[in-house]
Amino acid sequence: MAVALRAGVRPDDRVAVRRLVASTGFFTANEEEIAVELVEDALAKGESGSGYHFLFAEDGGHVVGYVCFGPIAGTAASHDLYWIVVDSARRGGGVGRVLERACVDAVKALGGLRLYVDTSSRSQYEPTRAFYRASGYEEVARLKDFYAAGDGKVIFVKALDAGTAPGAA
Ligand SMILES: CC(C)(COP(=O)(O)OP(=O)(O)OC[C@H]1O[C@@H](n2cnc3c(N)ncnc32)[C@H](O)[C@@H]1OP(=O)(O)O)[C@@H](O)C(=O)NCCC(=O)NCCS
């Protein structure tokens, strides 16, 4: 069955986000808490007020993936793709692509021109990096030992206006 997209965060998304993030086996308990805190912030202040916007992919009303994004304070039009997570049982089935494309459309609608995403340099995240490359992101920086010794931060960017090269100022 094809997934349906839902905009707008709901109270029961706290449980869904925790379940999805835990299903990946990628994230620490602390990172899981941070993911849920972003949902709570958006519930408390609204998506515009919190700066955390959400889109959920649902199959038969069951949440199978989500993306969280928002404007980067202090920039003219740069946005951050904070989280994109697909249920481990659905990984590799195109749900991430649907979410990423919808996120790009939503960021453009918010006036965003550049979409940044960062991830770990660890080998576990090579499929994640492959997903970003396949989705049109360019690797623009690597910060050695950023998260921990041997665990660097890899920064990708996608320019959302067709005329701007990713490396351009
Ligand atoms: C990264 C993630 C969101 C991608 O979602 P997905 O639904 O698995 O990805 P899709 O099936 O839509 O893949 C889209 C394209 O990305 C690339 N890709 C996806 N998984 C890949 C893998 N394991 N290896 C290589 N390329 C891959 C492919 O080019 C793929 O297109 P194709 O199927 O036509 O070849 C998902 O796998 C995930 O939740 N991973 C764990 C959590 C994570 O790392 N999140 C990001 C950090 S917040």
Residues 6+ apart with CB under 8 A from 49: none
| CB-based contact 121:154 (threshold 8 Å) | yes
- Report the alpha-carbon distance of residue 109 to residue 136 in Å, rounded: 19
Q: 3-state DSSP call for residue 30?
A: helix
- Closest CA to ligand 1's atom 21: 127
**Of ligand 1's atoms, which has the minimum distance to the CA of residue 97?**
12
What torsion do the CA atoms of 115, 44, 49, 22 make, to the nearest 10 degrees? -10
Quick: pLDDT tens for 129-167.
999 999 999 999 999 999 999 999 999 999 998 544 455
**Cα 45 to middle of ligand 1, angstroms:** 31
Tokens representing residue 62 in the block:
């069951």
- Report the alpha-carbon distance of residue 96 to residue 132 in Å, rounded: 10
What is the CATH number that goes with domain 1-111? 3.40.630.30
- Closest CA to ligand 1's atom 12: 94
**Structural domain spans, the chain:** 1-111, 113-169
**Cα 132 to middle of ligand 1, angstroms:** 8
Taking CB atoms and a 6 Å cutoff, what residues make up the pocket around ligand 1? 24, 26, 83-86, 91-97, 119, 127-128, 130-131, 134
**Cα 74 to middle of ligand 1, angstroms:** 30
- Report the alpha-carbon distance of residue 84 to residue 146 in Å, rounded: 20
| CB-based contact 115:107 (threshold 8 Å) | yes
Closest to 107 (Cα-Cα) out of 34, 159, 45: 159
The model's pTM: 0.94
- The pLDDT of residue 161 is 81
- The pLDDT of residue 5 is 98
β pairing state of 114-120 and 78-86: parallel
Quick: pLDDT tens for 42-96.
999 999 999 999 999 999 999 999 999 999 999 999 999 999 999 999 999 999 9
- Closest CA to ligand 1's atom 16: 131
- The pLDDT of residue 168 is 47
Quick: pLDDT tens for 4-33.
999 999 999 999 999 999 999 999 999 999
- The pLDDT of residue 2 is 87
